Amino acid sequence: MRDVLRSLIDLIDRDDARPVALCRVVGTTGSAPRELGAAMIVTADDAVIGSVSGGCVESALVHTARDVLDTGTAVVEHFGVDDPDDPAPGLTCGGQIEVFVERVEPSAERRAQLTRLATALAADQPIAWATTLTAQPDWYLATETSQPPWRHLDRDVADLLATGRTGLVGVDDCDAERARPDRRPRTFVQTFAPTARLILVGANDFVRALSSLGATLGMRVTVVDARPVFATAERFPDADEVIVGWPDRYLAEQIRDRRVSGTTAVCVMTHDPKFDVPTLRTALAAPTFGFIGALGSRRTVDDRNRRLREAGVDDAQLARLRSPLGLDLGGHTPAEVAVAIAAQLIAERHNASATPLHLGDGPIHHR
């Protein structure tokens, strides 16, 4: 969307502006040719700007765009694997995409919304753009500091923004929305923000389980360990990257290059003081990490805290350390421990109590 945004604004901001059709990839399955949010503009004169598939389905979308411009009714198109016996266009890559086509009016409201989006992107300010996949789409923009109530979906949008994820929220069958104002329409949320990171220090079974769960939660997972025999991509297939190197040096490089932020969590799970202490000392000295935790028993934690103080870590820095790591779920296996740690990451991100819901009262989702 970034590559066509300026063109979209220019097209609807002219004195003689006419509506244009905006086509966006809102769903993918398998080996899709473009990422979620990839966009194409079709003007009333059949001019095409951008691409959603690299050439496979663009011609079909031009015809759809004409209809949408004529009727003003947005539609969702589905494209699957190319079939030589089927006259319908398909994807040669073997994947499937879902494309939303809507008419963008040259109205003051739409110009203001798109300009706000462009301003945030130019300033590198995280922002989420939500669009209801309804016949008459509704737009909503949310930033880290501005998330007003919207269609009972603002919490979902805020959660995607907090983790830098793009995707779908809400439900289908939005015809019922007219009769039920509390309906949560199916909505595409395109987030322009760094993806939440999970840096796992160590190369053991607990790390493997947590790397898989972190990937499921939409985080970019990095496993780092100084031992090449253990730190291999084959042992951690769900991690985005496996780094062979001293963890404290890796963290220092990430901090220096400004690749860590408030959405970055680091979990030290090595059980070895020669790795734990220098790694935690490096992480705790940087105010940029959103979460710092370390696995270990009470005895291990006490011994490690003593070593950290001897290494120069002060009480204020030590107070940021979550150790023992994870919520008290009573688990022992790597998978159970991973769930306990992931639950703590989620709870802290939402500033939630992590108590059983049946023991409380009031709304389940707090604003």
Give all domains of the chain, ordered by start, each with its CATH number. 1-192 (no CATH), 197-350 (3.40.50.720)
Query: Which tokens in the block code for residue 84?
Result: 């030589």
Neighbouring-strand partners of residue 294: 268
**What's the one-letter identity of residue 330?**
G
Average pLDDT over residues 111-127: 94
User: So what's the pLDDT on residue 351?
Assistant: 84
Alpha-carbon gap, residue 367 to 355, rounded angstroms: 17
Q: Could you give phi then psi for residue 232, rounded to 5 degrees?
A: -130, 150
pLDDT-wise least confident of 14-18, 72-76, 100-104, 202-206: 14-18
Percent of the chain with pLDDT over 90: 75
pLDDT, mean over the chain: 90
- Whether residue 36 is predicted with pLDDT greater than 90 in this model: the reply is yes
What is the β-pairing status of strands 291-294 and 264-268?
parallel
User: So what's the pLDDT on residue 87?
Assistant: 45
Percent of the chain with pLDDT over 70: 91
Average pLDDT over residues 3-16: 94
pLDDT digits (tens, 9 = 90+) for 107-116: 999 999 999 9
On whether the CB atoms of residues 200 and 222 are closer than 8 A, the answer is yes
Q: What angle do CA 267, 273, 277 make, to 5 degrees?
A: 60
pLDDT digits (tens, 9 = 90+) for 291-332: 999 999 999 999 999 999 999 999 999 999 999 999 999 999
CA atoms within a 13 Å half-sphere pointing along the CA-CB vector of 228: 0
pLDDT range class, residue 83, cuts 50, 70, 90: very low
Query: Which tokens in the block code for residue 71?
Result: 């009727």
- Whether residue 171 is predicted with pLDDT greater than 50 in this model: the reply is yes
